[in-house]
Amino acid sequence: MRRPELRRIALISVHTSPLAQPGTGDAGGMNVYVWQTARTLAQRGIDVEIFTRATSSADAPSVRAADGVLVRNVVAGPFEGLDKRDLPTQLCAFAAGVLRAEAMHPPGHYDLVHSHYWLSGQVGWLARDRWRVPLVHTAHTLAAVKNLALAAGDEPEPMLRQVGEQQVVAEADRLVANTDAEAQQLISIHHADPDRVDVATPGVDLTTYRPGPRDVARAELGLDPGEVVVTFVGRIQPLKAPDVLIRAAAPIIDRARASGRRVRVLVVGGPSGSGLARPTALIDLVAELGIADEVTFLPPQRPEMLATVYRASDLVAVPSYSESFGLVAIEAQASGVPVIAADVGGLGVAVHDGVTGMLVGGHRIDDWTAAIDGLLAHPRRLAEMGAAAVTHAQNFSWDHTADQLLESYHRAVATYDGAVSRPEQIPTPSTRGTRRWSRRRSGVRA
């Protein structure tokens, strides 16, 4: 059977632009995912248009970001001051902007819609019905999963989001999960049809993130070549748990200081999400623990400099409470650095436990201290893990991700019947997977 041709797809990323700097605000791994997959698909000859919300009056209506990739900045609400939780109030305005852009073209301009995160899924659902093309959706994170593993003091995701995610799961023609575990969560929590769920594992830019001399990287960053460096990269918020690393490293730093050695913690990122309520909380914690001289804070870095940060490190820590995959873990390993990570979500796929790093169950500070201390005490083992990490990371490329996405896209187009799926009822999502709900197919258009 001949595959349907894909000429042009619309990617929807409402709450964060793929052109934004990851590591602060709402920009993170999803930005990298959308940008890298768009570029890779464009290299395969598919035109990609990315719809995102304009956050500055200086944003041009459209930006040719790369060959074959057009970013459309849709005006929806005030440019600044909107929290991600406020964005549902702007979905109507955003959807109108998306539909107007398509209306300037002849019918059939887009072959498919791929929405990222639940807010985008709500818009993609409407666009799918209006354009009569299939909707593929990637959740990236699920509210019910995040709420099961909240950090102390963090706020649970609202029911509004959980219901919105349930609606998108029901309406999407295909769902793309980052890992098999996430696919099972879509099925058990949101009752997704297993036959409509695909897995596309995120990748890493293997030309940017690659091994290099540690002394050169440290010289570029102004770090002491004789120090042991443990690094955190990510948004500074309770979900990402940088405080777990700081608390766990404090006794290690104290013991090293007493013995004339030096252990440094490098924190790369900016306050985000619930972390904005106390933007100096991590700095205050460092001062309280008396380790300010051994902790260095850096702002979010562009990919080339971030690769330098990884190469300068002996160990990279990813202590998150929830991760759908964990791109930082793969980027670090591709750069030749072992990773210690929480055994949550997709990190069990990203890190080969005991070979390219270590997975830690839970977030007890003593457990993290013992695990970090144990790794740092054996430099030869760390070096072996770093070498294995490079080989492991070769399994994760954006080309491979694009291959998997194209398989999902082709299935969506081949099986799309143009019908509108309407749920008879909208249940409250269950974390136990005990509630079931029915759907019927209707040929009536909205």
Binding site per annotation, positions:
15, 21-22, 26-31, 84, 117, 141, 161, 235, 240, 301, 310-311, 313, 323, 331
Which position has the token pair 């010289």?
219
Both tokens assigned to 19: 């052109």
CA distance linking residue 55 with residue 59, whole number of Å:
7
Annotated binding-site ranges for Mg(2+)? 310-311, 313
Both tokens assigned to 163: 């219901």
CA distance linking residue 188 with residue 194, whole number of Å:
10
The residues pairing with 7 across neighbouring beta strands, listed in sequence order, are none
Annotated binding-site ranges for UDP-N-acetyl-alpha-D-glucosamine? 21-22, 29, 235, 240, 301, 323, 331
Cβ–Cβ < 8 Å for 395, 352 = no
CA distance linking residue 166 with residue 188, whole number of Å:
12
CA distance linking residue 11 with residue 405, whole number of Å:
12
CA distance linking residue 37 with residue 140, whole number of Å:
14
DSSP H or E stretch at residue 348? helix 347-350
Residue 51 has a CB neighbour count (10 Å cut-off) of: 27
Cβ–Cβ < 8 Å for 257, 265 = no
Cβ–Cβ < 8 Å for 320, 195 = no
CA distance linking residue 77 with residue 383, whole number of Å:
50
Annotated binding-site ranges for 1D-myo-inositol 3-phosphate? 15, 26-31, 84, 117, 141, 161
Sign of CA dihedral 198, 32, 321, 144: negative
Concatenating the DSSP letter of every residue in 355-393 gives TTEEEE-S--HHHHHHHHHHHHT-HHHHHHHHHHHHHHH
Cβ–Cβ < 8 Å for 285, 200 = no
CA distance linking residue 393 with residue 12, whole number of Å:
28
CA distance linking residue 104 with residue 243, whole number of Å:
50
